[in-house]
Structure 1
Amino acid sequence: MSELATDKTEWPEKPLASNIKPFIDTFFDILDNNTEDAGERLAKEIFATDGYFGTASKGYTGSEEIAGCCGDRWAMVKNRAHYIDKVYTCNEEGSDLLMIGHSSQDLKIADIHYEGELIARMILEKVGTPNMRIKYFRVWGDSGPLMKLLGEKGIKT
């Protein structure tokens, strides 16, 4: 079995709702697997109908945009995995989370493998219920390692 995004996560001292960890794992599992239905699954299973999904390069608002978000994300990527190292909660309910982690990616160009650090904010609605969804998600990634590798391979960005 593959390692889950939160297998080695350090969680806040105050326990969060029991469905948050598996929800986060499902979210990253969808993102890290190149399947035809990934965008639809994100829109239906993960995000609120008016949710926001902000990646390092583009933002998507609402179910329709989120459903179409995955098409171009795999154009240059062979494999991708996200890992969350630490989660902080910004409120008592545990609905506003700050996550620090890293990702590992294999690119289709020049057989490049790189790892980079990330930070993300996730705001959840209906926490602790079967209808919990992401209202807001924004990730920021460190592109420095990738830029260095591309430069070493003579690839201009």
Structure 2
Amino acid sequence: MVYNTEATEWPSFEINPAIKDLISRFFKLLDTQDSSVGNVLADEIFALNGRAEFGGHFFNGKEEIRGSRDSAWKVVTERRHAVLKVFSADLEGSDLSLIGHVEMSFNNGKSVEGEFAGRLGVEGATGSSPKLTLYQVWADSAPVNRALIRE
């Protein structure tokens, strides 16, 4: 586990360690400013028919997910996610909800932090190589909007 899941509260029943690693790797990638992240998300994290929501936009399938991070760092200089708690709708861990915390710094010198909620669909939840079929997020965008307003 890396920093973003080291303090996570997991369901009381055992979640496949491969899912925990997938979640940890996923959020670490979202915090990584590198041109290869979109390719890794498309090829290694999401299933063929995956659907991801980033920045209020949905990206469907590998090719859209591949390009989903192209503007992720346009105004952001640093991003750090922490998964606080994970809930599972089933014993396999194929339908997960989470509460997280994110800190972001912007190229105008301002920073924000706050909680978010997310939903993860997982294909192959009981296997050794699970993949995400869905990532959907809910967060209050007002602090980000205020931070980005030019004064």
Judge same fold: TM > 0.5, yes or no.
Answer: yes
Superposed CA deviations along residues 13-51 of structure 1, whole A, max 9, x for unmatched, are: 011112111111110111100111000000001000110
TM-score, normalised to structure 1, is 0.89
Which residue of structure 1 aligns with residue 130 of structure 2?
132
Structure 1 unmatched ranges of 5 or more: none
CA distance in 1, matches of 2:30, 2:101: 14
Instruction: Verify the 8 A CA contact 1:121 1:137 in the aligned structure 2.
Output: yes
C-alpha change, 1:38 and 1:150, in structure 2 (3 Å) is closer
Instruction: Verify the 8 A CA contact 1:56 1:141 in the aligned structure 2.
Output: no
Q: Percent identity?
A: 33
Whichever of the two has the greater Rg, that structure is 1
Which residue of structure 1 aligns with residue 93 of structure 2?
94
Q: CA deviation at 1:104?
A: 0.3
- The aligned amino acid for 2:97 is L
C-alpha change, 1:56 and 1:71, in structure 2 (3 Å) is closer
Q: 2:116 aligns with which of 115, 118, 134?
A: 118
CA distance in 1, matches of 2:129, 2:100: 26
Structure 2 unmatched ranges of 5 or more: none
- SS of residue matched to 2:136: strand
Q: CA deviation at 1:148?
A: 4.2
CA distance in 2, matches of 1:146, 1:31: 17
Which residue of structure 2 aligns with residue 144 of structure 1?
142
Instruction: Verify the 8 A CA contact 2:54 2:68 in the aligned structure 1.
Output: no
**Aligned pair 1:20/2:16, yes or no?**
no
Which residue of structure 2 aligns with residue 103 of structure 1?
102
TM-score, normalised to structure 2, is 0.93
CA distance in 2, matches of 1:56, 1:142: 11
Superposed CA deviations along residues 86-125 of structure 1, whole A, max 9, x for unmatched, are: 100011211100000110000012x011102100000101
Instruction: Verify the 8 A CA contact 1:116 1:143 in the aligned structure 2.
Output: no
